[in-house]
Amino acid sequence: MPITTCIFDAYGTLFDVGSAARKLAGRPGQKALAACWQALAEDWRLKQLQYSWLRAVTGEYEPFWQLTQDGLDWALEKHGLHGNLALREDLLALYWELEAYREVPMMLAKLRAMGKTCAILSNGSKEMLSAAVESAVIGESLNAVLSVEDVGVFKPASIVYDLVGAHLGCLESEVLFVSSNGWDAAAATGYGFKTAWVNRAGDPMDHLAHRPAHVLTDLTTIPDLVT
């Protein structure tokens, strides 16, 4: 069955989660952050994800924005910057203005020109996602922005992937699901979606029950997968 619908994870897939720390590190007076921003951004993202998994397992849902703050606080403490409240506030403010990867606007425009339905499915809260979409100026290329807020549990719970069919009326076999998280792409494969893992870092394949159908280095060739 042909692909009619392209679903994208948001953070790390469409939006560069390292851009907040990178942008602030380039400003005057940020010598301490400049020395560690890459490691701090990676730790921030890792803890954000780990806290989402723990919340999903324990059934103690908290909005993604709370997890984002908790992850940053852990990363700041690890790198000896937890006493700098101004730095914390600046990083959190910039997280609402994350940059999209440079190939994203053209890639989405091509998909829409091909008549494909395009949407986001993310752990992010609706408010966070709305801000990111607006900041990246990609709203006109999206048919929907779906958040786990509607079900109160984070990916990879299957009820999250149910949101796609419920909101867009498509079959699992009609969906190409795209994520920068190998575990997310693997879970979506097991769910029944065709999948693409955007492996920008060149990481090894996760050792899980399912594997993504495609492994890419960026999003440029997504339209080629749905022709």
**25 shares its domain with 80:** yes
Same domain, 79 and 110: no
Count of domains in the chain?
Answer: 2
pLDDT in tens, 1-51: 799 999 999 999 999 999 999 999 999 999 999 999 999 999 999 999 999
Q: What's the pLDDT score for residue 1? A: 79
The string of DSSP codes covering 37-106 is HHHHHHHHHHHHHHHHHHHHHHT----HHHHHHHHHHHHHHHTT-TT-HHHHHHHHHHHTTPPBPTTHHH
Quick one: 35 and 116 in the same domain? no
Looking up tokens 């920068």, which residue turns up? Answer: 180
Contact 57, 29 (CB under 8 A): no
Q: Are residues 26 and 110 part of one domain?
A: no
Residue at a domain's end among 51, 80, 95: 95
Does the active-site annotation cover 184? Answer: no
Nearest 5 degrees, angle CA 133-CA 197-CA 154?
60
Find the CATH number of the domain harbouring 128.
Answer: 3.40.50.1000
Residues 87 and 151 in one domain: no
Cα(60)–Cα(38) distance, integer angstroms: 30
Tokens of 224: 């080629």
Domain interval for residue 60: 19-95
Q: Which of 9, 16, 90, 184 is catalytic?
A: 9
pLDDT at residue 108 tops 90: yes
How far apart are alpha carbons 133 and 109 in whole angstroms?
A: 14
Give the pLDDT of residue 164: 98
